[in-house]
Amino acid sequence: MRVLFRADASLSLGYGHVMRCLTLAKALRELGADCHFASRALRGGLGARIAEDFPLHELPATYAGEQTSGLAEAPIPEKEDLDHLGTVLEGQRFDWVVLDHYGLGMQWERAARAFAPRLLAIDDLPQRRHCVNALLDQNLLADEAEAYPPSRGEELAVRLFGPGYALLRPEFARFRRKPRPAVDGKPRLLLFFGGGEGSRALPGVVRELLSLPVSIDVVVGGASAALAELRALAAVEPALRLHVDTQEMAALMWHADLYLGAGGSVTWERACLGLPGVVAAFSENQVSIGLAGERAGIQRYLGMADALPGSAWRDAAADLLADTGVLHGMRTRAAALCDGAGAERVARMMFEAGGADAH
């Protein structure tokens, strides 16, 4: 089976779309699939990371007449995208196209049938409409029946909803099977403000948190504008450890007592390992995830990140760390939501629907 993924990453878009597609692609490869990626050459993108594992068909960073707002939900010219995609693919055909992109919609999906007979859309915005064979939203939805309303005349897609389909790397399931590490000294905080511009706020938040009796692990991308300031802080603060472009997120979550940061797809990585959180929305699409996680009792949601002073993060962390009973309840509820096997479930569905035999 041959699968084409269409997803982008950049400093403004963040890295979540491409990272979860890479996870699904690796699960598909384990079953024998040949996976390819099409991605734009955007500033701070993950083209080199993709190319380490899969063939990459690079698309232009900008299209003629495109208005670049930098917002993840901003539409991009669909015809231009499809025309360039057809050029770089040079007549190749696939069994599935997987689309993970807020800027491309139903018209793109309809036209993408030229590349494959089946489409899977991965989305987090339940008000959107799709024209696909399968639809994946790994989040807790307030009303699954009302999510992603079908267009008139369109056939309903297979709906893969909820954290049971969360696209997590295999190491999260491996760490989940390990016993929790013994508490040793100060509570351990894990901070991750996403791969985009939100990381600029990290130094101020870290300074506030250092006033608490805690140790702090900060995960940050190598392209972050805050990196130099964070390195300077880590050089003089023994309680602070900096992890740049780390591949060890599962291990860091397994050791942590409390997470503070972005409330996107990382929510289900935390849930798999039973890690309570204090989260904020670093983009509009993270608002519903933040609120749903708070309703489920696995985190405290603070609102939009750009409106928060560092003291708000410090106070929320202090409140939760002072009540071990609340933290334990959060941990138990989180672990019950997600078992880490979602990528394998989705991959097997694709093989079964695609008529190809999995290994």
CATH code for the part of the protein at 171-337:
3.40.50.2000
Question: Rounded mean pLDDT of 131-146?
Answer: 88
pLDDT of 70 over the 70 cut? no
Beta bridge partners of 158: 134
pLDDT of 175 over the 80 cut? yes
Per-residue confidence (pLDDT) for residue 117, from 0 to 100: 96
Would you place residue 236 in the very low, low, confident or very high pLDDT band (cuts 50, 70, 90)? very high
Tokens coding 155? 């056939």
Q: Round the average pLDDT of the chain to a whole number and report it.
A: 91
| Packing angle of the helix pair 202-209, 310-321 (nearest 10 deg) | 40
Percentages of the chain per state (helix, strand, coil), in multiples of 5: 40, 20, 40
Q: Which residue's entry shows tokens 């016993």?
A: 179
Question: Rounded mean pLDDT of 159-185?
Answer: 91
Would you place residue 227 in the very low, low, confident or very high pLDDT band (cuts 50, 70, 90)? very high
Per-residue confidence (pLDDT) for residue 43, from 0 to 100: 85
Residues 6+ apart with CB under 8 A from 116: 4, 93, 94, 95, 96, 97
Per-residue confidence (pLDDT) for residue 322, from 0 to 100: 95
Helix count (H) and strand count (E) of the chain? 13, 13
Q: Do domains 2-168+340-354 and 171-337 have the same CATH topology?
A: yes
Per-residue confidence (pLDDT) for residue 64, from 0 to 100: 84
Question: Rounded mean pLDDT of 28-35?
Answer: 97
Per-residue confidence (pLDDT) for residue 347, from 0 to 100: 97
Q: Domain segments of the chain: what residues?
A: 2-168+340-354, 171-337
pLDDT of 234 over the 80 cut? yes
Higher local confidence (pLDDT), 225 or 28: 28
CA angle 264, 270, 274 (to 5 degrees): 145
Tally of CA atoms within 13 A in the half-sphere of 318 that contains its CB: 12
Question: Rounded mean pLDDT of 132-151?
Answer: 86
Higher local confidence (pLDDT), 189 or 199: 189
pLDDT of 156 over the 70 cut? no
CA neighbor of 258 nearest in space, from 239, 279, 235, 277: 277
Fold for 2-168+340-354, please state it.
Rossmann fold (3.40.50)
Which pLDDT tens digit goes with each residue over 311-325?
999 999 999 999 999
Which pLDDT tens digit goes with each residue over 344-355?
999 999 999 875
